[in-house]
C-alpha cells in the first residue's frame, strides 16, 4: 500500500540531507578554494633571445620578400613530380605514423584534462550471505536477526580532488604543449618526405639526361673505332691507334651500367616513398622525361626561417612543457584536498528498498600533506628545473642549427648554379667548336677522325652539364627543406629575432629534353 509513495521518497530525503550535510560541505569547500593559492611554479615566458646576426652571409645581387614555400614544388611545372608528391603525402607510411603519434598525444592530453573533473559511478547489487552464529557478532542471541540475509543495495559514489595549487592545470599545460610539439614534428616529417621525393625524382631525371649524353658519346667513339680500324687495315694507322680508340670506347661503355643502376635504384626508392611496393613506378623508366627547371628562389628574411622550421617550433613547445612540469612537481609541497560523496538505498527486503528509512549517505573531505619525504619532492623540483634548462639550450641549439642549415644550403645552391653556369659556357663552346668542325669537314679541311673528336668533346660537355644540373636541382631541394618550405607555418617567430633582408638565389636554368 505504501509503494506508490516510494517514488517520491528520494526527493524528500535529498532535501533533508542537503540541509544537514551538503550545505556545510559546500561552505567548507568554498572557503578552502577561496583561500587557496594560485597555480604554483613559474609561468611560461617566451623563449630567450637568440642572436641570429644581421642577415645572410652570402652576398647576392638582389633582395626580395620571401615567397610562399608551402607548395614550392608546384612552381617547378613538373606534372610527374606533382603526382608523386601528392601520392606520397597521402600514402607515405612515415607520415601515417606521424599522424598516429598525434592521435596518441591528443588522447594523452584529453586524459590529463579529464583528471581535473570529478569521477562518479552508480551501482546496484544483491548480496545473499550467511554469517556465523559463533562469530564475534552473536547473531543467534539477537532476537529477529537471521544468520542468512539478502541485502539489496543501489547507490552512487563521487570523488573529486580540488586543484588547490594548480598541479592539474600545469599538467594540462604540459600535455597541450607536447601535443603541439608532436603536431609540428609531423610537419617536419612532411617536409622531409616532400624533399626526399623531389630529390629522388631529380636523380631519376638527371640520370636520364646523363644516360642519353653518355650513349651519344659511346656512338661517337664507336664510329671513331671503326674508322681507325679501317685506316689500320689500309696501313694508314698503327695498331696502337686501334688499341687507344678501343680503350676509349670500352671506358665509356663501362659507365652505362652504373648510370642505369642509379636511375633504377632511384625509381625503386620512389615506390617505397609512396607507401607502395618498390616496383610501382618502374614504368617511369620507359616514359619521356620532363624538362627540369630551376627557378629563382626568394629566400626572404633570415628570421623567417625560425618561423617556418618545425624543429625550432617543436623545441619551443617542449620548452613550454618543461616549464609546466616544474609547477606539477612544486604542487607536491602543498596540501591536497579530496572529497568523496556517496549515497543510495540499502534494505533486506525489496519492498523496503527505496523507502526513506533505507537511505544512506556519506561525505568525506580529506586533507593530506606530505610533511616529510626525505627530500624527494624538492629533488624532483630540481630535476624538473634542470630539464627546463636543457630544453632552453635545446631551443637555442635548434635556432642556430636552423640558421646554419639555411646558410649552408644557400651557399651550396649558389655554388651549384655557378658550376652549372660554367658548364653551360663549356657546352656552348663545345657546340660552337663542333659546328666549325662540321663546316671544315664539309670543305675538306679536316679528316673524319678530327670531326668525331670534336663531336666526342660535345657529348662529354653534355654529360658534365647534365650532372651539374642534377646536382643543382638536388641542392635546390635541400635549400627549400632548410628554409622550412613544404607546410603552412602559422606560428610567430620567437622573441629576440630581428628581421633582415634576404637574397634571391638565381635565375631559371633549363636542360633540353633528351
Domain ranges across the chain: 1-35+117-162+335-368, 53-116+165-262+292-331+376-510
Instruction: Count, in order, helices (H) and strands (E) of the chain.
Output: 11, 8
* DSSP 8-state code for residue 154: E
Helix, strand, coil percentages, rounded to 5, for the chain: 65, 10, 25
- Chain centre distance of CA 175: 17
Check residue 352 and give its pLDDT: 79
Domain 1-35+117-162+335-368 and domain 53-116+165-262+292-331+376-510 have a common topology: no
- CA neighbor of 205 nearest in space, from 114, 384, 84, 328: 84
Check residue 508 and give its pLDDT: 44
Q: What is the pLDDT of residues 123-181, one digit of tens each?
A: 988 888 877 777 677 776 777 667 787 888 888 899 998 888 989 999 999 999 999 99
Are 501 and 57 within 8 A, CB to CB?
no
Q: Determine whether 100 is exposed, middle or buried from the number of CB atoms within 10 Å of its CB (0-12, 13-18, 19+).
A: exposed
Radius of gyration of the chain (CA): 39
**CATH of the domain spanning 1-35+117-162+335-368, picked from 2.20.200.10, 3.30.9.10, 3.30.200.20, 2.70.70.10:** 2.20.200.10
Q: What is the pLDDT of residues 27-67, one digit of tens each?
A: 445 545 444 457 898 999 988 777 777 777 775 533 455 56
Check residue 395 and give its pLDDT: 94
H or E segment and range at residue 420: helix 376-443
pTM, entire model: 0.79
Q: Which of the residues in the chain have pLDDT under 70?
A: 1-37, 59-68, 135, 140, 144-145, 291-292, 295-296, 488-514
Helices (H), 235-340: 239-273, 304-308, 310-330
User: Where are the strands (E) in 147-219, listed by range?
Assistant: 148-162
> Which phi and psi (to 5°) does residue 36 adopt?
-75, 155
Q: What CATH class is the domain 53-116+165-262+292-331+376-510?
A: mainly alpha
Q: Which residues of 75-90 are buried (b: 16+ CB within 10 A; e: fewer)?
A: ebebeebeebbebbee
* Grid cell listed for 170: 600545469
* Grid cell listed for 179: 601535443
- CA neighbor of 427 nearest in space, from 469, 472, 471, 475: 469
Beta bridge partners of 125: 153
Cα(218)–Cα(215) distance, rounded to whole angstroms? Answer: 5
| Sequence-separated (6 or more) residues with CB below 8 Å from residue 135 | none
Check residue 59 and give its pLDDT: 57
Q: Which residues of 184-205 are buried (b: 16+ CB within 10 A; e: fewer)?
A: bbbbbbbbbbbbbbbbbbbbbb
Amino acid at each position: 500500500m505504501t509503494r506508490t509513495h516510494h517514488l517520491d521518497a528520494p526527493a524528500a530525503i535529498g532535501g533533508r540531507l542537503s540541509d544537514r550535510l551538503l550545505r556545510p560541505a559546500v561552505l567548507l569547500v568554498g572557503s578552502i578554494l577561496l583561500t587557496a593559492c594560485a597555480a604554483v611554479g613559474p609561468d611560461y615566458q617566451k623563449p630567450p633571445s637568440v642572436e641570429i646576426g644581421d642577415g645572410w652571409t652570402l652576398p647576392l645581387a638582389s633582395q626580395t620578400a620571401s615567397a610562399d614555400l608551402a607548395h614550392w614544388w608546384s612552381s617547378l611545372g613538373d606534372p610527374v613530380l606533382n603526382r608523386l608528391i601528392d601520392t606520397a603525402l597521402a600514402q607515405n607510411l612515415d607520415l601515417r605514423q606521424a599522424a598516429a603519434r598525434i592521435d596518441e598525444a591528443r588522447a594523452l592530453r584529453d586524459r590529463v584534462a579529464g583528471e581535473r573533473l570529478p569521477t562518479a559511478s552508480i551501482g546496484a547489487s544483491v548480496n545473499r550471505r550467511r554469517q556465523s552464529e559463533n562469530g564475534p557478532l552473536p547473531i543467534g542471541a539477537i532476537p529477529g536477526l537471521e544468520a542468512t540475509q539478502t541485502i539489496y543495495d543501489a547507490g552512487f559514489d563521487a570523488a573529486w580532488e580540488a586543484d588547490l595549487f594548480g598541479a592539474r592545470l600545469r599538467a594540462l599545460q604540459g600535455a597541450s604543449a607536447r601535443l603541439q610539439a608532436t603536431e609540428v614534428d609531423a610537419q617536419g616529417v612532411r617536409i622531409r618526405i616532400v624533399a626526399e621525393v623531389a630529390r629522388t625524382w631529380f636523380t631519376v631525371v638527371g640520370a636520364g639526361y646523363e644516360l642519353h649524353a653518355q650513349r651519344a658519346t659511346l656512338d661517337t667513339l664507336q664510329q671513331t673505332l671503326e674508322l681507325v680500324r679501317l685506316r689500320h687495315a689500309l696501313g694508314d694507322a698503327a695498331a696502337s691507334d686501334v688499341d687507344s680508340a678501343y680503350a676509349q670506347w670500352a671506358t665509356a661503355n663501362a659507365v652505362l651500367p652504373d648510370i642505369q643502376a642509379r636511375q633504377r635504384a632511384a625509381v625503386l626508392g620512389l615506390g617505397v616513398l609512396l607507401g607502395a611496393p618498390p616496383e610501382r613506378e618502374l614504368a617511369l623508366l620507359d616514359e619521356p622525361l620532363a624538362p627540369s627547371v630551376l627557378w629563382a628562389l626568394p629566400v626572404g628574411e633570415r628570421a623567417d626561417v625560425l618561423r617556418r622550421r618545425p624543429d625550432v617550433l617543436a623545441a619551443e613547445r617542449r620548452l613550454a612543457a618543461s616549464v609546466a612540469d616544474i609547477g606539477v612537481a612544486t604542487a607536491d609541497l602543498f596540501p591536497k584536498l579530496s572529497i568523496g560523496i556517496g549515497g543510495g538505498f540499502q534494505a533486506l527486503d525489496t519492498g523496503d528498498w527505496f523507502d526513506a528509512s533505507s537511505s544512506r549517505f556519506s561525505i568525506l573531505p580529506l586533507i593530506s600533506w606530505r610533511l616529510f619525504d626525505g627530500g624527494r619532492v624538492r629533488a624532483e623540483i630540481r630535476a624538473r628545473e634542470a630539464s627546463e634548462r636543457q630544453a632552453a639550450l635545446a631551443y637555442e641549439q635548434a635556432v642556430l642549427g636552423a640558421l646554419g642549415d639555411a646558410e649552408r644550403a644557400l651557399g651550396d645552391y649558389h655554388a651549384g648554379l655557378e658550376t652549372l653556369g660554367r658548364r653551360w659556357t663549356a657546352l656552348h663552346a663545345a657546340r660552337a667548336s663542333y659546328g666549325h668542325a662540321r663546316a671544315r669537314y664539309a670543305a675538306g679541311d679536316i679528316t673524319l677522325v678530327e670531326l668525331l673528336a670534336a663531336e666526342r668533346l660535345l657529348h662529354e660537355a653534355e654529360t658534365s652539364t647534365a650532372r651539374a644540373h642534377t646536382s643543382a636541382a638536388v641542392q635546390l631541394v635541400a635549400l627549400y627543406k632548410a628554409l622550412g618550405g613544404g607546410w603552412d607555418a602559422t606560428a610567430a617567430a620567437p622573441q629576440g629575432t630581428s628581421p633582415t633582408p634576404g637574397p634571391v638565389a638565381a635565375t631559371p636554368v633549363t636542360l633540353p629534353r633528351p
